[in-house]
């Protein structure tokens, strides 16, 4: 198990180019929904093309115009698509990644996170089973964004004690509280 960012970077360099993604595109492989506001138009295009080159089917629910487009709307559309089972997971991009992640997390069943480096991206999947990755086009460059995406997609949810914690998040989402006897 990788314990820190430096160790992750070392391991990532050693395994560069080796991906566990086994997507087959439209023939039953992975489907990712991607959405963006106006600040992330170019980043969305580049990440969508990157995913397509990997054989991943990409569903675009973001704006394709440089005109203003509200990040809550983009975050909602990505999250709703994932929650409805129309995509395996989602990527939402705005200027910082923060606002769009806040909006996405309002949709029941969504575990969205804002990220600006690969280690946290990997851990969001391994420990939190995060289903929507958010980042900022004004915060990370394209190459770093690709590494963040790869770290997340290549990671697998570990389950076990982490599943118990994700279940607590789901309980909190549904009931607005946790059981009294939990610490």
Residue 124 structure tokens: 């969001």
Catalytic choice (38, 77, 89, 94)? 94
Diameter over CA atoms, the chain: 51
Task: List the domains of the chain with CATH numbers.
Answer: 26-156 (3.40.1400.10)
pLDDT tens per residue across span 122-179: 999 999 999 999 999 999 999 999 999 999 999 999 999 999 999 999 999 998 998 8
* Cα dihedral sign, 128-130-105-98: positive
pTM value is: 0.83
Are 150 and 158 in contact by the 8 Å Cβ rule? The answer is: no
**Is 89 part of the annotated catalytic residue set?**
no
DSSP letter, residue 170: H
Per residue in 47-83, pLDDT (tens digit) is: 999 999 999 999 999 999 999 999 999 999 999 999 9
72 contacts: CB under 8 Å, gap ≥ 6: 99, 100, 103
């Amino acid at each position: 198990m990788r314990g820190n960012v430096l160790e992750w970077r070392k391991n990532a360099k050693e395994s560069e180019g080796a991906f566990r993604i086994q997507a087959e595109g439209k023939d039953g492989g992975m489907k990712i929904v991607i959405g963006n506001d106006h600040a992330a138009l170019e980043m969305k295009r580049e990440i969508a093309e990157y995913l397509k080159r990997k054989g991943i089917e990409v569903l675009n629910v973001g704006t394709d115009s440089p005109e203003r487009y509200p990040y809550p709307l983009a975050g909602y559309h990505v999250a709703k698509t994932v929650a409805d089972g129309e995509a395996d997971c989602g990527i939402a991009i705005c200027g910082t990644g923060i606002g769009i992640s806040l909006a996405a997390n309002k949709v029941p069943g969504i575990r969205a996170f804002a990220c600006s480096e690969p280690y946290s991206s990997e851990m969001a999947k391994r420990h939190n089973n995060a289903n929507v990755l958010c980042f900022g086009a004004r915060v990370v460059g394209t190459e770093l964004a690709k590494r963040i995406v790869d770290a997340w997609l290549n990671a697998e949810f570990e389950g076990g004690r982490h599943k118990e914690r994700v279940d607590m998040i789901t309980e909190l989402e549904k009931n607005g509280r946790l059981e009294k006897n939990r610490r």
